[in-house]
């Protein structure tokens, strides 16, 4: 039994190491898919269609598709690289809670009380050799504890946590809109493959168009389901990891109502809701963006994370 447990731990470690090694490969894969899509939609279909348009309506449709495609592409890439390069949030060195939240005491905790394993509010990470704030989890791929960790995403080569969750949700949102637009735009060309209509273009361009349609249709459906799941998590102020804990808890202590739960992720400034950035005011008041203050202090709409 001991050998089996040791072998399993070793296999998990090797698997996490392999995920860590994907790194730039996944980024190149994402950029490759974007490049193929750009080639099929812009260079093979709607770009030539705009130049060769004989009617005002055809030119207007082609121009609208191209403008919308490029706008969504910019927002998608902006959101994507914001997730990739934004630290999800780590535990400050030698972090200690100010008070015992479980006992509602105002005096600082002693070292003995901090190591008390009977308290569900005070946790210790044996891998990081440090205390774990509330809603903090250890990521085996990143090799550290992450604040309000949702999951480790191989597509963005990063953990999704307190400081980049908004950017991840926007990446899903713009990916869905982009892939849905490409799917609908290439649908007539896809249907033409199975008809007797003669399709202009080289065999390579036609094959790329066919592949792009299939890929974007698959991404549209999969991202839609993933996005619906995360919208439900945001509405309940829950992460993917915490969703399992919530099922066994009759009352979720972090649920502040849909409006305030949404504001904790996206901020109060509506002008910044759909861009991967925060206003100066939101940077000041959102506890998740204040490092140490995030797990221990309540200064956002009267409540904290």
- Taking only the tens place, the pLDDT of each residue in 84-102 is 999 998 887 777 776 544 4
DSSP letters for 199-257: PPS-HHHHHHHHHHHHHHHHHHHHHHHHHHHHHHHHHTT--TTHHHHHHT-SS-TT---
More confident residue, 285 or 292: 285
pLDDT of residue 132: 86
Neighbouring residues of 57: CB distance < 8 A, sequence distance ≥ 6 = none
Q: How confident is the model at residue 104 (pLDDT cuts 50, 70, 90)?
A: very low
Could you give the CA distance from residue 242 to residue 30 in angstroms, rounded to a whole number?
28
pLDDT of residue 21: 61
Residues 211-226 have a mean pLDDT of 96
**H helices within 52-130, ranges in order?**
56-85, 111-114
Residues 274-281 have a mean pLDDT of 91
pLDDT of residue 275: 96
Residues 120-127 have a mean pLDDT of 76
Spot the catalytic one: 16, 125, 128, 153: 153
Q: Residue ranges per domain, the chain?
A: 25-88+175-305
Angle at the Cα of 157 from the Cα atoms of 27 and 43, rounded to 5 degrees: 20
- Known catalytic membership, residue 153: yes
Neighbouring residues of 87: CB distance < 8 A, sequence distance ≥ 6 = 163, 164
pLDDT in tens, 28-74: 999 999 999 999 999 999 999 898 888 889 899 999 999 999 999 99
pLDDT of residue 186: 95
pLDDT of residue 112: 31
Could you give the CA distance from residue 30 to residue 171 in angstroms, rounded to a whole number?
12
Sign of CA dihedral 121, 126, 129, 135: negative
147 within 8 A of 88, measured Cβ to Cβ: yes
Q: Which of 89, 206, 195 is nearest to 149 (CA)?
A: 89
Could you give the CA distance from residue 203 to residue 225 in angstroms, rounded to a whole number?
34
Q: How confident is the model at residue 117 (pLDDT cuts 50, 70, 90)?
A: very low
| Of 110-124, 127-141, 220-234, highest mean pLDDT | 220-234
Given a cut of 50, whether residue 8 has pLDDT beyond it is no
More confident residue, 246 or 258: 258
Given a cut of 90, whether residue 128 has pLDDT beyond it is no
pLDDT of residue 260: 87
Sign of CA dihedral 154, 158, 163, 168: negative
Residue 288 token pair: 């998740």
pLDDT of residue 187: 94
pLDDT > 90 fraction of the chain, expressed in percent and rounded: 44
């Amino acid at each position: 039994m001991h050998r089996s447990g040791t072998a399993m731990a070793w296999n998990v470690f090797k698997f996490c190491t392999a995920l860590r090694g994907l790194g730039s490969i996944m980024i190149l894969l994402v950029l490759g898919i974007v490049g193929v899509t750009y080639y099929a939609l812009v260079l093979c279909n709607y770009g030539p269609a705009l130049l060769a348009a004989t009617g005002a309506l055809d030119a207007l449709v082609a121009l609208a598709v191209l403008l919308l495609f490029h706008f969504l592409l910019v927002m998608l890439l902006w959101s994507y690289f914001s997730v990739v390069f934004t630290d999800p949030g780590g535990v400050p060195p030698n972090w200690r809670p100010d008070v015992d939240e479980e006992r509602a005491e105002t005096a600082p905790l002693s070292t003995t009380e901090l190591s008390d394993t009977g308290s569900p509010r005070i946790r210790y990470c044996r891998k990081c050799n440090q205390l774990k704030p509330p809603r903090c989890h250890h990521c085996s791929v990143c090799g550290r504890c992450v604040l309000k960790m949702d999951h480790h995403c191989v597509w963005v080569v990063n953990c999704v946590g307190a400081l980049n969750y908004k950017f991840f949700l926007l990446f899903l949102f713009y990916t869905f809109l982009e892939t849905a637009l490409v799917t609908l735009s290439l649908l007539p060309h896809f249907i033409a493959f199975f008809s007797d209509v003669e399709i202009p273009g080289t065999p390579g361009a036609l094959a790329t168009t066919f592949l792009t349609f299939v890929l974007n249709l698959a991404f549209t459906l999969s991202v839609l389901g993933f996005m619906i799941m995360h919208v439900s998590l945001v509405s309940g102020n829950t992460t993917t990891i915490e969703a399992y804990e919530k099922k066994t808890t009759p009352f979720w202590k972090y649920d502040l109502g849909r409006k305030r739960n949404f504001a904790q992720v996206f901020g109060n400034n509506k002008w910044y809701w759909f861009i991967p950035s925060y206003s100066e005011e939101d940077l000041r008041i959102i506890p998740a963006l204040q490092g140490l203050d995030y797990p221990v202090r309540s200064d956002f709409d009267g409540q904290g994370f």
